[in-house]
Structures are given as structure tokens and as C-alpha cells.
Structure 1
Amino acid sequence: MSHSDVILDRLMSLHPKVIDLSLGRMHRLLSALGNPERRIPPVIHVAGTNGKGSTQAMIRAGLQAGGARVHAYTSPHLAHFHERIRLAGDLIAEADLAATLEECEAANDGQPITFFEITTAAAFLAFSRTPADYTLLEVGLGGRLDATNVIDNPHLTVITPVSIDHTQYLGDTLPLIAGEKAGIIKRGVPVIVGPQQDEALRVIEAKASGLTAPVFAHGQHWMIARDRDGMVYQDDHGLWDLPLPNLIGAHQIQNAGTALAALRHLGATEAQARAAVTQAEWPARMQRMKRGPLVDLAGPQAELWLDGGHNPAGGEALAATLAAMPPRPTHLVCGMLNTKDIAGYLRPLATHARSLTAIDIPGEPNTLPAAATAEVAGSVGMTATTARNAAAAIARIIDRDPQARVLICGSLYLAGRVLRENG
């Protein structure tokens, strides 16, 4: 284990007995650290249920193409914790991460705090000490009471599509959840709003109106549409004729629109817009795996894909992506957390897959047992079995169908584990 891994394990033990979403612990720790969140470069704060990471990755690619230095904070990580913190474009170095975590641990002085809170404070501390032009900040959960929502005067806020997820924390109706996401809107600060269902949009617009925050909403102030082999973005400033996103899937066109609306607001050029949609990097979002032991196991005639989506909207996006791909027999290898709407995720995929092989997520205490995943898959009409791990599942699928398209899916935690195991 690296030095930072040892510290991260130790920080897990500071959890309050019940995780309540509140900002009190965060304010206490940041105060002890000298309020680094007040000394970071201008913040672009991104909330939403789906597409936060992809949208943020495209904004980052566009800003960097214009020569800007960009800090970025995202979660969860896939293979290594360092992925969560980028300083002026580069992943935080191991020595810097360890030193920053230890400083936060000392300032916290053994008080109750969540893992996400103390690591978010560490990101703010690192951001405050490295010069940059912008800070891209992705909400962890919700918005209103999320640990990132201690920024009083962001430069811009962004809300990607809102759907029902994390009901135990955020409420069980779309307006309630939209209200939590809209908690990042600040007085007078422009908010870019991605495609929303009407009842979510009404809540977001009402919150913005109360804070006199200018709204730039999809369908009203900007549009994005596929156009033959490319896409067209249009707003009051004019039209950008662009290639399709390098991130695969129809939903990425909507995410690109949200990112482009943000970039337009930041004064980006058409060249930056092009870079945003062609140079973004965001692993485990319908990622084709090209090399490594699992690819070798699948053999030269097969395709191996990886996707970390996990809620019903993620299942629908994945189904739409599969429907648009060249036809090929598709088999799922699926591992999920026990906190998710499993049937809602799997139902849209049922018509696109010949089989599902369920596995446990290795090393994850909250994994749904493979047998339970298989049972739900069967209930939505899929041919389902279990295997002890991804390698065993792939081997069995390829044995039956050497030209299969194998898609490993169901959880970002599973995707991260697979990326680590595949080297």
C-alpha cells in the first residue's frame, strides 16, 4: 500500500455513527485549516444525477485547449484515489496527496467527519496552493448539503439531467431531488441547466429566480442536435457545427450541449468547443478495452466493453448506445451494489443482451450477491447465470460465442476493480 492509501484507510474510521448530510463538520474543519476554499481559482460547480463527470470532462478539455490551467475534483475514483484531484491539469502526486491528507487529519483532531468531507477539504487545500485559472468542482451527492457546497461565490454553476437516485438521502420524488441539486445555485451567479423533465426544471428555475441567478436552460436558451455525422450547438450567440463526441452514446450529445453552454458562457472559441467534444477523457463510460489480460482472454474476434452506469437512467443510456452500435451478439457481465434499483437498471437492457452473467463486486462489502442480481435479471426477462469473477464469466461467454460483444457493467466500483485487475 502507498502512504496515502494507509492514511485513506485510517480516515474511514472517523465516520460519524450516522451519515447525515450537513455542512457543520465541513465548516469546522475548513476553519481549522484557515479556509482554503476561499483561496481557490474561480469555481465551476457541477451537480446533477447523470452526466456530471462526462460534462465536467468536456468542459475541462475545452478550457485546456484554450490554454487555461484547470483544477478538477471528481468522485468516485476508479482505479486510484488520485484520480479525484487534478492540479492544473495533472493528477495529484502521491507525496502531495499524502502530505495534504495528513494535514487535514491533524486539523480535524479525531472529530467525527465523513471520508468524503475530509478528502474534499484536502482537495480544497491542494487547490489553494497551486495556481490555476479555474476549479471544476463535481458534487458528490445531491448539492444543497454536499461537502463541495461551501463555495459562497462560484463563477458558474451547472446542473446536468436530474433523475431519481439516492432516495434515502435526497427524497423520493423528482421535485425533491431537483431541489437538492438546485442547492448549488448562488445569488446572482449564472446557472447552466442541462436537459430536464418539466417538473425538475420548474423547481430549478424557481430557485434561480429567488436568487436572481441568470438561467441558461436547454430548449430555451441553447439547443444541441445530431446532424448527419456530426452535431449542431446553437444559442443566442450563434451556431457551432461540430463532430460527434468522442465519448460514446446518444446521451453524450446532451452532455456535450451542457458543456458547450458552459464554455460559451466562459468565452470559449469554436476551436475550444471542438476540442471539448473530441478530446475529453472519461474512463468506464462505454469504454472499449483494447489491451490487458481480460482482452487476451476474450480473444481476437470478440469485443470487450466497460461501463460504470448503475441507475435506471444509466441503464436507458446504455441500452440506447447498444441499439445504435453495429449488430453483434451482446452478453453482459454484471455486478451491482445492494443500494440500487436493480430491476430499473436492467429492464432497458433486456432486449439488447442474449445473456447476463452476474458476479459479486470483489472486495466490496455492499455488493449485491451474484445470485440476487441473476434473479432480478431473470424477472425482467433475461437469460441469467452467475460466475465467480469477471474472468470466469468472460471465458464461459467466449467458449459459447467467440465473436461476442462482452459488456462489463452495473457499477463504477466494479468498473474500477476491472480496470485495476486488467492492469
Structure 2
Amino acid sequence: MSVLLLAVFAVALVVGAPIAVALGLSSAVAIIVYDLPVHVLAQRAVNALDSTPLLAVPLFILAASLLGSIGVTQHIFDLVRLLVGRIRGAFAQVSILVSLIFSGVSGAALADIGALGKLQIDEMEKQGYTKKFAAGITVAAATIGPIFPPSIPIVIYASVTNVSTVQLLVAGIIPAFVITAALMLQVAVMARIFKLPRDTVKPSLRAVAEKTAISFPALLAPVILIGGLLSGYFGPTEVAGVTVAYALLIGAFVYRSLTVRAVWVGLRDTVEATASILFIVATAAVFAWVLTLDQVPARAGAFLLGLSDNPIVLLLLVNLLLLVVGMFLESIAAILIIAPIVAPALHAAGVDPLQLGIVFVLNLMIGLLTPPVGMSLYMVSIVGKMPVHMVIRGVLPFLIPLLVSLLVVTLVPAISTWLPRIIFQ
């Protein structure tokens, strides 16, 4: 059964069918051919969407859209530029730090690129950076977004593996700082070697104070979000709702730049993005049910445990698997299909569920930077108006710090587990 399922799925992808259609079509064919109850298609799809944590997905998308429309991005950029100063490669460092800050409200790599990409690339070009370098650092820094809370991939991973969503979101905080530090170190090295430009900004105490005052409401958004999660007052869904309300509040009464049209556009974009994500969630649930019925997760688990019972060895094997899968499969679909198969085996071998969740998502976010299905590459290509091959050449040096970060998170469980264990013990 699973052979037919995977064969139809592969053919559908090759002929260019959307990932959700490929998942649903292959599942339907397997169900019909093997005379299984057809009503399972609807039942499993609906049950997959009947999940409270998934309510956070559209709310985080809407919050990011609203905050982007009221000029939050520009205010944060201006403040961080003043703080970093005129060191070599300063604007590249600013791009990384702003991606970290903005990730506190966006929850997705493509959202970061959509909100920040054009501004980052255009400004770096003005200062003398090559377009290739600007594209590379933009797409690499966007991987921080899905690791630092809120994170749409982490919410989805938690929902399919029965891991605490809040704890898994908190588990991403320190790994996100590790990735940020690794990228900044890479830029510092490249700044020395290639004599990267200095920023044209002229920092002063007065300018920093003025820009801090202007940016303070924007900077408070991720503080409220993270603070709500850490305090335990909010779950992921509640904190997403609070973030939307906060974006509406500061947009209407503080910055006074939020228009009815901007709200309408944000709602429309949220519906489109959410429909796409949840369509994949629904069809992947049916796909996973067929695999489970054919005992694929059990056999895969037995195979992995037969290779080794060492948690580190198993994690490294999963890394290799996911890095390859990430080159060909959209990240949310990969989570929905592969996580239920490999997670039980690794949990049984002693891998901490929180560490595995972060390792899993980070692997797939690196996959967004690799052809042929690296969605971040195509997104930067669109916003930067440049060919994809130029973006690929630009991102290659930044794969080094990302892979090093992945290795560190894999070998040192405490990076993912220490903070949630301290907070929620």
C-alpha cells in the first residue's frame, strides 16, 4: 500500500502538482485501490484541523502583516543601525539583528523575507555591497524566524508529535541566539577578508535616544509575546491573539499609520496563507494515516533503532535525512509526513522531545536555502529582482554557520532543553 502511495505522490510532484494536491491525490488513490473506507478522507482531514494550537497560525500571520504595514520594520532598522555604528559590514550585521527582532512577531522565514528582504537588499546595494552578498545574508538570516518564538513550523510540529507547544516554542530561544551569533561571526570574518563597506549612518546619543523612543512600542511587541509565554499566562493561541490586538492598538493610536485598507489587505493575505498551510495539514493527515495503516512508522522506528541505540548517532542520521528531504519537500509537508514516523523511535532511544523538535525544524529551515525546492531562494529572487542562481551563490558562504549551528544544537541537548526545563519544572 505504501509503495503505491509514495509512487503516486512522487509522480504528482514531478508533473508539477501542488504539494497539498499530491498528498491528497496519492492518499485517495491508495484508499480506493485497497478498498478502504472513502469517508476517511474527510474524517481525517477535518480531525487534523480540529486543533486549538493551529489557531495560532492565522493569528501570527495577521500580526506580522499588521506590524509590517504600520512601519515597524523601518523603525527597528533605524534603531539597530544607530546601535551597531560604522564598523565594517555593519549593515549586514544590522540585517541579522533585525531578523532576530522581527522573528519575535512573524513566525515564518518567508514572512521575514517578505517584510524585510527588499529593504535589506536595496540599502546594502546603496552602501556598496554586491547584490549577491545582500541576497545571501537576507535569506540566511530569515532562518532565525522559524526557530525563535513564535514559530509556525514549531506549532505544527508540536501538534503532530504531542509535544508541549509552549515548551517547544521556548526551547527555540537559545538556539536562535546561537544561529544569530554564528551568522554575525561569519559576517565579521568576511568583513575583514573582503573589506565590506561601513555604514553611512552617523550615530549619536541624541539620535539613539530619539529613535529608541519612536521604536519602543514596536520593540515591546516581541517582549509581550515572549513574556506571556514565559510567564505561563498565555498559551501560543492566546499570545497570538494578544499580539494582533497590540498591533491594532499601536497602529491606530501610537503610530497612527494603520489604515482600513491595510487591515483589509492583512486579513486577505492571512486567509490566503492560512488556507495554503491548512490545506497541506489536512491532506498530510490522510497521507500519514495511510502510512500508519501500513505500519510504516513502526517499521521505520525498528529500522532506526536497529542501526543504533545511541541518541546522538540517531540524531545525526535524522539530520542527514532531513537535509536531503528539505531540498525536495516543502517544510510544513515534511514535518507532517516525517515527524510522526521518526519522532517515536528517537523518543524511545532517549532523545529529548524538545531537542528533537528544534533539530527537526532547523534542518528543514536550512532546506529552504537549498535547490531545487528552496522556497526562500525564490522569495528573495522575487523581492530582490535577481536570478535564482545569483541568490544561490550568495547564500553558499552562510550555509557554513547554519550547519555549524545545527551541529551544536544536535550535540548539546541543553541548548534546547535548559530554558524550558528551568521555567516549567
TM category (shorter chain) comes to: under 0.3
Return the TM-score normalized by structure 2. 0.28
Structure (1 or 2) with the greater strand fraction: 1
Structure (1 or 2) with the greater helix fraction: 2
Tell me which of the two structures has the higher relative contact order, counting C-alpha pairs closer than 8 angstroms and 6 or more residues apart.
2
